[in-house]
Structure 1
Amino acid sequence: MQQVTWNQIGVKEGNKLLSPAYKSNGLVFTSGNVGNDGSGQFPTDVAEQTELAIANLANTLKNSNSGLDKVLKVLLFISNGDDASKVNEVYSKYFPHQPARSCVIVQFPNKSIKVELECVAEENN
């Protein structure tokens, strides 16, 4: 098992609670990626947050020798079920191969967060 480390967007340097990803037997397991920008700010629009969360996930995968096209399973968290259609509209642009997915409505401790994604993906050869 290999831990993948670097300075992740919006995560304080030296965060001891999580690793951006772990790799094992050709698979990448990511931690959750939220929709914040490089300064750590969260847009109020759920579609914008979804775009940023997927961009942050793509960055995590790139640094783990993988990519969005290699995703096998997504666990998606949203704060408001009424936002599901907007989230799905953005999500479908990046995951046309329709990986397995679960979607859970949650109450985030940080009220600015509207969406979070984690995944399991294959490594590139």
Structure 2
Amino acid sequence: MEKQIINTTNAPAPIGPYNQAVKAGSMLFISGQIALNAETGKLEQDDVIVETHRVMQNLRNILTEAGMDFSDVVKSTIFITDMNDFSQINEVYGKYFSGYFPARETVQVAGLPRGVNVEISMIAIK
């Protein structure tokens, strides 16, 4: 199985020893994305709604670079620091999909990189 590294300047550069995504055959594994704006290098954390939109835009940009879109996503993992934010995050997340939603879990964690409130990773297949 051929493995291809996917990186785009339209999403934040990795801040550690990993890639934005790895395509293995027809599957794409996207690393967790946070609300870092690739253009400005700044976190977008006005509120959890703004933050989640930026995360989803970063994910969309990586999917696009791989020749995919949200309709190709089969699995998402959402990490949040406060389960009280779940309904707002869920509402924003849902706006990026049409038709069938992927499988998903949402997990509350003690902390996330750079003090963000939400991080989302995805698996897609085409």
| TM-score interval, normalised by the smaller of the two chains | 0.7 to 0.9
Would the aligned equivalents of 2:7 and 2:62 in 1 still touch at CA under 8 Å? no
The question of 1:65 aligning with 2:67 is answered yes
Q: Distance in 2 between matches of 1:16 and 1:7?
A: 16
Q: C-alpha deviations, 1:13-64, integer Å up to 9, x for none?
A: xx55111111112011011111222322222300101101000000011111
Give, in angstroms, the shift of residue 65 of structure 1.
1.4
The question of 1:110 aligning with 2:89 is answered no
Equivalence for 1:10: 12
Can you give the 5+ residue segments of structure 2 that lack an aligned partner in the other structure?
none
Q: 4+ runs of 1 displaced by more than 4 Å?
A: none
Can you give the 5+ residue segments of structure 1 that lack an aligned partner in the other structure?
none
Alignment of 1:23-38 (within 5 A): 23-37=23-37, 38=39
The question of 1:120 aligning with 2:118 is answered no
Q: CA RMSD in A?
A: 1.7
TM-score w.r.t. structure 1 length? 0.86
Q: Distance in 2 between matches of 1:78 and 1:90?
A: 14
The question of 1:92 aligning with 2:94 is answered yes
Structure 2 counterpart of 1:110, one-letter code: R
Q: Report the identity percentage.
A: 29
Give, in angstroms, the shift of residue 109 of structure 1.
4.0
Equivalence for 1:22: 22
Matched residue count: 120
